[in-house]
Amino acid sequence: MGKFQGKVVLVTGASRGIGAAIALAFAQEGAAVVINYLQNKEGAEKVASSCREAGGDGWSLQADVTSEAAVHGMIEQISLEMGRIDVVVNNAFKPYVFNPDTRKLLWELKWEDYQDQLDGALRSTHYICQAVLPLMKKQSSGNIVNVISNLVERPIVPYHEYNTAKTALMGYSRNLAAELGPFGIRVNCVAPGLVYPTSASQYTKEEMKEMIIAQTPLRRIARPEDIAGPVLFLASDWSRFMTGQTLFVDGGFIM
């Protein structure tokens, strides 16, 4: 019996990378996983079939999570089909390239650059949380896990717009935790460091990776699968008395 048998889990931005690894980990524990994606239909369907092979259930569902109407449509579809949503992992974000050489410096940034990242991280999460709330309140239970970044604690490279949006998401999550606790709904964050291979880290230079490895007590860079365990922990009864927390999953880097 998997830890998430009979549970319905929605993972946004799950057609590849960290999102795909999280979806698969839930399926291995028996969950019915909804794999949300924006464009990569083929990737999402591949993840869905891996979820089914792993002993859970997988269903790919297209929706632009920065659109309120699209989010409501998606949640309605899941609700009609599954009747419940137990766990939401807000993993989707606006594409961002982690390359210290090409990043915009503070004096080159326009407000629109910040707005783009805020839309990707915060707006999307807000729409999803508002849309799932009626279902979770009705169930008197629910788990929301938001994926942020260890840069909120140690901006080793000042990726201004990305990091500002992720820091805002951490603040949002804490307020949400305070508001939703009385309904039996928990909200926590997972903050990975550099994860490789993902589409975002493909341009990260070797010397940057080596510097991070040298400063990481566990002496390696995270793989997507490394992020899945902490997400499952926060979504499970093992963490039932935890809310408003941020788990840093970076091999001890920020320490």
Determine the average pLDDT of the residues in 123-146: 98
Give tens-digit pLDDT for 179-227: 999 999 999 999 999 998 887 787 788 888 999 999 999 999 999 999 9
Q: Over pLDDT 70: what percentage of the chain? A: 100
CA distance 253 to 255: 5
CA distance 221 to 77: 38
The domains of the chain, with CATH numbers, are 8-249 (3.40.50.720)
- In 10 A of CB 126, how many CB atoms? 17
CA distance 148 to 14: 15
Nearest to 212 by CA among 222, 225, 224: 222
Q: Which residues are catalytic?
A: 162
CA distance 240 to 228: 18
CA distances from 184 to 7, 60, 122, 145, 195 (A): 16, 28, 22, 14, 32
> Of residues 94 and 251, which shows the higher confidence score?
251
Give tens-digit pLDDT for 235-253: 999 999 999 999 999 999 9
Place of tokens 């849309």: 131
State the Cα angle at 166 between 163 and 169, rounded to 5°. Answer: 150
The predicted structure's pLDDT at residue 133: 98
Does residue 112 carry a pLDDT above 90? Answer: yes
Amino acid in the structure at residue 124 = S
Place of tokens 């999953």: 249
- Does this model's pTM top 0.95? My answer is yes
The predicted structure's pLDDT at residue 97: 86
Amino acid in the structure at residue 232 = L
Does residue 1 carry a pLDDT above 80? Answer: no
